[in-house]
Structure 1
Amino acid sequence: MSVPAPLPRRVAAEAFGTAALVAVVVGSGVQAAELSGDNGVRLLANSLATVLGLGALIALLGPVSGAHINPVITLATWAEGRVGGRGPGRRQVAAYVPAQIAGAVGGAVLANAMFDLPPVAWSTQDRFAWQLWLGEVVATAGLVTLVIGLARVGRASLAPAVVAAFIGAAYWFTSSTSFANPAVTVGRAFTDTFAGIAPASVAPFVAAQLVGAAVGLALVAALFGRPAPAHTDAAAPRGAAEPATSPVSVP
């Protein structure tokens, strides 16, 4: 049985992964906007880069931290673990979420700098509309259902390909282009580019994502039933490292 990475290393992996993801999303959006004046082409380029980058990051960081790269995934796996006796503990959640948010902001600043833009430029792209919030509920519910469902049926190893494919599809079938990630939403407020979101639009998006996470957990319970309690032959030693959860994630 593999030994879980120490918590500081897992937290660093979450910060790095979220920073890299936001750099991919923002940077590819800037590049697409510079190369094409057609919004459809821009979105295609942006979604393709995100799919490739996300899949690579989940595959790389999954064995270290579980590759959540997303506060709703961290919270959903914690909620699932409270019932089934598996998943991250409160200390891990408390460490992961701030690291993910800080990483997202850092990724946006890095992407701005790579394209010779001001390091911090608040987005002016308003995304304040009920249909966009509904799109975020749908995208996040689908993501949580997929991630937890894969773990339930013993297919977590497929997460890099399946999660990335879902996010790529959700870019196109949801009205919001599938942020589905509170940390990434916050980070994208720091860039006034194609992928940005105005600061005033952030809170409703995050609220919709949290609602979507709750809907996703309800769907998992409806589709797969309640998780069975974890059984161990012996109690874990006091002070043992919390396990990294199975590879999951996203934007």
Structure 2
Amino acid sequence: MPRYKLTIEYDGAPYVGWQRQKNGLSVQETVEIALKAFCGEDVTLFGAGRTDAGVHATGQVAHVDIPKLWPIDTVRDALNAYLREEGGVAILAAEIVPETFDARFSARKRHYLYRILNRRPPPTVLKGHVWWVWKSLDVEAMNAAAQRLLGTHDFHTFRSVNCQAKSPIRTLDRLDVVTGPGGEVHIHASAQSFLHNQIRSLAGSLKLVGDHRWSDGDLVAALEARDRKRCGPVAPPDGLYLTQVDYAS
């Protein structure tokens, strides 16, 4: 049975998250409905990352086994024809991959972007897609503090109380805070894997550095405390995007 790798873009605002749930429509279920309409059978879609409700993606990756071999452009275009009615999900690319490929377990690195709209006026067209912070942020201070979190650490402070990961140890390869266009502040984070709510927790704590309520030493002290209570406020899901997943070439 052919295995297809799908690169998916979605607006997470209308969905309960990536993973299929009983309390509402998920991105996974939305694509699976389109897949059934296309191939006539129930199939299961496996994603590289289980984004939460309200989190977006410009480069989510998933794999699925489809009973028949189809041209990859046909798979992409046919699924988008079904998904167009839903309006929040698009298949950017489809490709045939070996049966050993697994969107989650074959991933070498995941890349995320967190967008903060840093201006006095509130967002209009960007509402639901950025975190609005009206007070001016010190981007240089945020970036300097962020660099102190790079490498392998116990990130227990910066994970959800509902995190199911067996270990809080993670290796953070990139955590850059830069000035983006249109008054935005962008946080770029890269690692092989992240804990539940890790990036949103880091973004909320870095915001405290940006408005000078925390120093970089306070951020490091929170990390070293390994205590969830020492974390800053968790940033909202609106500004978080899964942008890319890397695999061995």
Establish whether TM, by shorter chain, passes 0.5: no
Higher RCO (Cα < 8 Å, 6 or more apart): 1
Shorter-chain TM-score range: under 0.3
Normalised to the residue count of structure 1, the TM-score between the two structures is: 0.26
- Would you tell me which structure has more helix in proportion to its own residues? 1
Higher relative strand content: 2
TM normalised by structure 2 equals: 0.26
The structure that has the greater radius of gyration is 2
